[in-house]
Amino acid sequence: MTNSSHERFNVYGAITDQIIAAIEAGAEHPQMPWHRAGGSIQRPTNIESRKAYQGVNTVALWAAADARGFAHGLWGTYRQWQEKGAQVRKGEKSSVIIFYRDLESNDRDAQSSGDDDRNNRFFVARASRVFNVAQVDGFELPAIEPAIDRIDPCVTAEAFVAATNAKITVAGDRAFYNRATDSITMPDRHRFVGTKTSTVTESWYSTLLHELTHWSGAESRCARTFGERFGDDAYAMEEMVAELGAAFLCGDLGITAEPRVDHADYIGHWLRILKGDRKAIFTAASAANKASEYLKSLAGAEHREAA
């Protein structure tokens, strides 16, 4: 085994283990890291670029924040914090994320054929270690006004959903996406109730965004399937994508990611898949990120046409 393949395996394993540990930390009532009470659901952000982390790195850092009780989603490498005049405290443990480096031609295995491979790109997975703002001294977070009215962000969410032009019917007591009719059905609004950590409106939109992520997987959109690789677990994988997609979109739109009513039914399936396939969470997060970006592109297209 080469050093690069050994490191790639360790990166996948480390991040997956980090997410599994966060889920199992719930003991009697396990929950996903993005359903944590009292914390920010906003996307984790890099201190240097000020850009949100994407795909599995979003999930990994949500999991790390959940496990350690971090209330803010600002992260950076040791060097990046130093460049901001801050210092990671002695003894603080880093969290692992992943990035892909484009190999230079002299790093690749020798190409004995001599064919021109300029159109073929080679990538290798690399681990990067980051620290949360709660782990450093010398950096002051900007003051944030408390979000008293959580209904406000939902005006944006309403416009976002409308921009997709998805067919949505509100009737009955179930939430589901029907591939045959390419339509979403949502339960009657009065069936949604608030919880200690979520308002009725937040619960409504997180459920709707879950179904909208399912809708994005149709053949005419993201053409998402998992049958060949995951077999009997394909359905559970699609549910994982919808769960992550809803969480990503909730983060982008400022909505708490309330767990679905049937959330507990899938926890066991997800843990089994993650433990059996160390790259499953990468596949699901990548598909969910693609779905959320696709849906956001629809909203962006409508805004451009209206301008």
Judge whether residue 125 has pLDDT over 60. yes
Task: Please tell me the distance from the alpha carbon of residue 56 to that of residue 287, in angstroms, as a whole number.
Answer: 10
* DSSP state string for 130-164: EEEGGGEES--PPP------TTTHHHHHHHHHHHT
- pLDDT at res. 262: 46
Q: In this structure, what token pair is assigned to residue 245? A: 């997609």
H or E stretch at 273: helix 263-276
Domain boundaries, the chain: 3-137, 153-306
Q: What is the pLDDT of residues 207-232, one digit of tens each?
A: 899 999 999 999 999 999 887 677 77
- pLDDT at res. 150: 37
Angle between helices 234-253 and 263-276 (to 10 degrees): 110
Q: What is the pLDDT of residues 278-290, one digit of tens each?
A: 888 899 999 999 9
- Whole-number average pLDDT of the chain: 77
CB 139 within 8 A of CB 85: yes
**Within the chain, what is the greatest distance between any pair of CA atoms?**
67
Judge whether residue 250 has pLDDT over 60. yes
Judge whether residue 256 has pLDDT over 80. no
Task: Please tell me the distance from the alpha carbon of residue 170 to that of residue 185, in angstroms, as a whole number.
Answer: 6
CB 269 within 8 A of CB 233: yes
Tell me the one-letter amino acid at 170. V
Q: What is the pLDDT of residues 105-120, one digit of tens each?
A: 455 443 333 344 435 5
Judge whether residue 167 has pLDDT over 50. yes
Q: Tell me the CA distances in angstroms from 153 to 185, 201, 252, 270, 304, one per residue in order.
A: 23, 10, 10, 30, 21
Tell me the one-letter amino acid at 7. E
Neighbours of 234 (CB within 10 A): 14
**Could you give phi then psi for residue 201, rounded to 5 degrees?**
-65, -40
Q: Give pTM, 2 decimals.
A: 0.67
- Residue 302: which pLDDT band, with cuts at 50, 70 and 90? low
- pLDDT at res. 121: 63
CA 110 to chain centre: 37
Judge whether residue 45 has pLDDT over 70. yes
- Residue 204: which pLDDT band, with cuts at 50, 70 and 90? confident
Q: Which of 196, 213, 194 is nearest to 204 (CA)?
A: 194
- pLDDT at res. 110: 39
- The CA-CA-CA angle for residues 182, 269, 191, to 5°, reads 55
What sign results for the dihedral spanned by CA atoms 183, 220, 255, 22? Answer: positive
Half-sphere exposure of residue 64, counting CA atoms within 13 Å on the CB side? 28
Judge whether residue 202 has pLDDT over 60. yes
- pLDDT at res. 1: 43
Q: What is the pLDDT of residues 52-101, one digit of tens each?
A: 999 889 889 988 887 887 878 899 999 999 999 999 999 999 999 998 87
List the beta strands (DSSP E) in 52-156. Answer: 74-76, 87-88, 95-102, 123-132, 136-137
The more confident residue out of 40 and 132 is 132
